[in-house]
Amino acid sequence: LNRKLEYLKKPIFDYQLVRLFMRSLLFFFLLIGYNTFIKAQLDLEHWFPPLYRSSNYLSNYAEINVSTPHKTPFRIYIYSNNTLQESLIISKDNPAKYIIKNSSYITTAKNSFKTNKNGIHIVGENSFFADLRLKKEIVLSFGKTSLGTEFRSVNTTNNNYEGVDEHSLMTSIMATKDNTTINFSGFDAKITFTDGRQYNSPITINLNKDESFIIAAYKKDNFNIFDNEYFNTINGSKISSDKPIVVFGGAFYGQYAYENGSNSLLLDHIPPINKLGKNFFFQKGFSAITKHTEKAFIVATKNNTKVYFNNDTTARVILNDGDYYLMNIKDFINNQVYIKSSEPIYCYQLSSGTNRAVRNADFSYDAESMAYIPPLDISLPGEIDM
């Protein structure tokens, strides 16, 4: 498939135009497969902070796929711990795959709250796309767009799934410059983290280039002191640094569906606050809306943030900095939803991979996922090469 989609660079606010645009986009999206349509940011550098695995049930297999629209071959260089791991030659007709050989990239509790050297940094002689592929999940790199100095942690709600007590929340931070100071603040002081400790805010971290730090907590360690249905008191915490960093967020072993949701990898990049927008539009995934797997997860970055859905003239909810809101399934209109806010917000789509029933077993909760939704009111490239 090699088609080019042209569209206006100006912000799109008209609801009907947005619907028309997204329906056209959805055609291509479904044509080449769920989770593989929107390619990563075309850039000269990409970063993948290490991940925290809260259960042996989930595989620690990980691979990075790289591709480029450029016809002339060029070389990319893959680093971990500031040390060259491998170099590959790619071109438009010759994408490449890198299997992460060091299984410690996906680490466990013993390596949380410690300086890690397992992140991946890729540099190219020309611009290229990169994505991280894991079991049931694809994380697209934002390239240099992911760099920033102020973020909010984004961790989906974790539903109480009977028999499973290792649901987790995770924030992984990777430095791009030596002697970087990072502060993680705004969380509840009652939280017991995966190192077995409780901390007063802020947690201060010092990292050098390509070093990383993972902050994580088990639901099982905090179940009795918070709401039984959800564990979200890390969500919305402030992450600030004196030099550019890259942040991942979510849960490596999480679940947000109300009933029999699968334990999935709910992961994605967290963009810096200065790259966020106020207008969003998305189409539901493949599961029925009645299964409660199709939602929007919103995190505010400023006080008195008003959030509207579709044609609302009155704010549905007003959030303060760090507050979150889980969209009601009733807000879907014709399987679509338009979201507008008075201040920049994080907006992630929660979706499921299928609506199938096989041998009387309901698979509609299978492959739950979390994906950052790019805002409509930002400057976009004039061309997408597919």
pLDDT tens digit string along 169-206?
889 999 999 999 999 999 988 888 888 899 988 999 99
Contacts of 281 (CB under 8 A, 6+ apart): 18, 19, 21, 22, 336, 337, 338, 339, 376
- The span from the CA of 335 to the CA of 29, in Å, is 15
As given in the structure block, the two tokens for residue 263 are 């334990």
pTM: 0.82
Task: With CA atoms as reference, report the closest residue to 130 among 81, 102, 96.
Answer: 96
pLDDT tens digit string along 196-251?
899 988 999 999 999 999 998 887 777 665 554 445 678 899 999 999 999 998 87
Supply the pLDDT for residue 72. Answer: 97
Kind and range of the H or E run holding 80 = strand 74-80
| Secondary structure string (H, E, C) spanning 98-148 | EECCCHHHEECHHHCCCEECCCEEEEEEEEEEEEEEECCEEEECCHHHHCE
- Classified as helix, coil or strand, 348 is strand
- Contact, 235 vs 169, CB < 8 A? yes
Strand 168-175 relative to strand 212-218, pairing: antiparallel
Residue 113, beta-bridge partner list = none
DSSP string, 138-194: EEE--GGGG-EEEEE---------TT----EEEEEEEESSSSEEEEEE-S-TT---T
Query: Which stretches of the chain drop beneath a pLDDT of 70?
Result: 1-40, 54-60, 102-104, 109, 135-136, 157-166, 223-232, 252-264, 288-292, 353-368, 379-386
Kind and range of the H or E run holding 24 = helix 15-32
- The span from the CA of 37 to the CA of 224, in Å, is 41
Supply the pLDDT for residue 246. Answer: 97
**Cis amide prior to 202 (ω within 30 degrees):** yes
- Classified as helix, coil or strand, 306 is strand
- Contact, 127 vs 44, CB < 8 A? yes
| Rg of the chain over all Cα atoms, to the nearest angstrom | 20
Supply the pLDDT for residue 163. Answer: 45
Supply the pLDDT for residue 352. Answer: 72
- Contact, 105 vs 207, CB < 8 A? no
